[in-house]
Amino acid sequence: MERITSTKNRRVVEARKLSSRKHRRRQGRFLVEGLQILHMALDAGAEPVEVFYCEDLFTGPEARALLQRFAERGATLVPVAPHVLQSLSERETPQGLVATFRLFEHTLDQIRWEGNGLTVVLDRLQDPGNLGTLIRTADAVAARAVILIEPCVDPFDPKTVRGSMGSIFNVPIVRVKDVAHLFRTLRDHRVRVVGTDVREGRLWGEGLWEGEVALLLGNEARGLSPDVREHVDAYARLPIVGKAESLNVAVAGGVFMYCWLRAQMDHGPR
C-alpha cells in the first residue's frame, strides 16, 4: 500500500473518529496504541483490523516484530508519514504503531462460576480513568469478570483502554441493563453480594470474602443506586482516620480486591 501523507485521507479520518463512542459503535472497532498493550491484545486473541505504522518512528526491534505479528494475523497494514501517525496518537512521542481492533463483549451466560471467585460489579461508573484502573486491578487479582451496570462509561474509551494497561483484553467485561436479572443470576450461583459504603459495614470486609463473591462499587458521585442496594447481602467499609470525606472508587475498589485476594491466600497458595 502506498504511504499515506495526508491527515485528510479517508482511512485516517475514520480512525480519528474512533475517539467518539458513537463512531466506535458505528464502525464496530476501537483504537489502541502502546507496544506493550498491542502485544497483550494479540496474546489475548483480539481481532485486529488496521495497523497504521511509521517506520521512521520505530526506536528498536520491538515495533518491527509487532508489525510482523499483525501481518500474520491478517491485519491491513497502512504505512503513514510521521505527522499522520501523530494525528492518530495521544502520546507526545508516538511509538510508530496505532491499531484498530474489533469491538468484543461477553455475556452473563459466559461467566464460569466455578470455585471461589471474585466478580467486580460497577454501578454506573462515569470516569474512564477509574474504569481502566479497576479493570487492571481486577486482572491483577484474577477476578472472574467485571460487570458494568449501564449507563456506564464505555470500556473502549481510549482513556479506559490506556488506564487498563491492556488488562481489558484479559478480563471478561459484561455490560448489563437489567439490574434484576443480573442479581437473579448472582443469586442462582450462590454469589454473596458485598456492597461498599463509606459509613456502614464491616471494616475491611472482614469475614465476607469466603466463597463466591461479587464486589459492588458505586458511582463516583452518588455511590450505590437504590435499585442496586436492595440486592446487597452485606456491606464493607474502609477506615478513614484523616479528614478526607471518602476515597476514590478506583482506590477503594483496589483495596477491597486485595482484601479478597489475601483471604484466599490465607487459606492456601493461589
Residue 110 CA to chain centroid, in angstroms?
A: 17
Using a pLDDT cut of 70, give the percent of the chain over it: 99
Q: How far is CA 119 from CA 148, 149, 266, in A?
A: 11, 13, 19
Average pLDDT of the residues in 52-69: 95
pLDDT category at 270 given cuts 50, 70, 90 is very low
pLDDT digits (tens, 9 = 90+) for 14-46: 999 999 999 999 999 999 999 999 999 999 999
pTM of this prediction? 0.94
- Which pLDDT score, from 0 to 100, does residue 30 have? 98
- Write out 218-268 in H/E/C secondary structure: CECCCECCHHHHCCCCEEEECCCCCCCCCCCHHHHHHHHHHHHHHHHHCCC
pLDDT category at 268 given cuts 50, 70, 90 is low
Q: What average pLDDT does the structure give for the chain?
A: 95
- Which residues have CB under 8 Å from 252's CB, separation 6+? 196, 217, 238
Q: Is the pLDDT of residue 232 over 80?
A: yes
Domains of the chain: residue spans and CATH: 10-102 (3.30.1330.30), 108-265 (3.40.1280.10)
pLDDT digits (tens, 9 = 90+) for 171-210: 999 999 999 999 999 999 999 999 999 888 999 999 999 9
Nearest to 257 by CA among 208, 199, 224: 208
